Amino acid sequence: MIAAGVAYWKPDEIKTAWDSLIISLKGKRVAVLGERNVGKTVLLTFLVSGKLPSEYMQTMLPEKVEGKRLAMGDLKLDLKETRDVPGGHDAIEEWKALHDEADIVLYLVNAQQVNQQRIRRDLEKLESWSKARAPQPKLVVIVTHMDLDPTYVTTPASGLGHFRDRFVKLNLDAGLSKLTHRPPIILGSLVNRDQAAKLVATLIKTVTA
C-alpha cells in the first residue's frame, strides 16, 4: 500500500517518460555514491535489474555489478558495468575511480540522516574531480527515504515544489553553498517498486534535460 499523498506512478506513465529519452542513456556508465544507509545498493540494484533487493546489507567492499538490461515493461536500458562501493570515509579511492569512469554521478542523501558537513565535503570533492575531466560527468543529488517524512507524504502534488524548495533550504543549502555549480536535486523514495520507478523516471528526465 502506498502512503497517502504519494501518487501511484502508472506503468504507462513510466513508459512514456522513459521511451522518449532512453536513447540518450543507452550504454551510460552510472556511479552511485553517498555515505552509508542512503540507498546506494538499492538504487543500483533497481537500475540493473528493475527489482529491489529483498534483504539489505551494508556494502563493505567494492562489488562489481555486471552491465545488464533494465526491463520495465517494454522499456530496455543498457548499463555498462559499474561498481557498488561502500560509503565510509576510507572508500575515497574507490569513489574517485568510479567517478572518473562515469558519465553520470548520482550522490545520495538520506533525508532522515542529513549531515551537511559531510555533504559539503563530498560534493566539493566530486566537483574538484569533475573539473579535472573533459567531458565532465553529470552530477545529480538524490534525497532518499522521503517516505519517512510525514509532511512530504501528506503534501499534495501541487505543493511538492514548495516543499522541495523549503526542504533544500533547511537541510542542504549549507552543503551546497561552496559549489561553483549547484547540481539538480531530486526528492524521492526507494521504499517500493512504484516509488523507485517514479524516482528513476524523474532521474532520467533530469540527466537528459
In CATH, what number is assigned to the domain containing residue 112?
3.40.50.300
Whole-model pTM: value is 0.76
Does 1 fall in a domain? no
Interval 17-32: pLDDT, tens: 434 444 445 667 778 8
Between 93 and 182, name the one with better pLDDT.
182
Does 3 fall in a domain? no
Question: According to the model, what pLDDT value does residue 88 have?
Answer: 55
Q: Is the pLDDT at 188 greater than 60, yes or no?
A: yes
What phi and psi, each to the nearest 5 degrees, are found at residue 27? 80, 10
Q: Is the pLDDT at 164 greater than 70, yes or no?
A: yes
Listed in sequence order, the DSSP H helices in 26-180 are 40-49, 92-101, 116-131, 150-154, 160-171, 173-176
For the record, the C-alpha cell of 68 comes out as 545488464
Does 92 fall in a domain? yes
Which helix or strand (DSSP H or E) is residue 109 part of? strand 104-110
Residue 167 belongs to what domain range?
11-207
Question: According to the model, what pLDDT value does residue 16 have?
Answer: 47
> Domains in the chain: how many in total?
1
The C-alpha angle 40, 66, 185, rounded to 5 degrees, equals 30
First to last CA, the chain: 32
| Residue 12 CB neighbours (<10 A) | 9
Does 5 fall in a domain? no
Between 42 and 184, name the one with better pLDDT.
184
Question: According to the model, what pLDDT value does residue 163 have?
Answer: 94
Does 91 fall in a domain? yes
Does 19 fall in a domain? yes
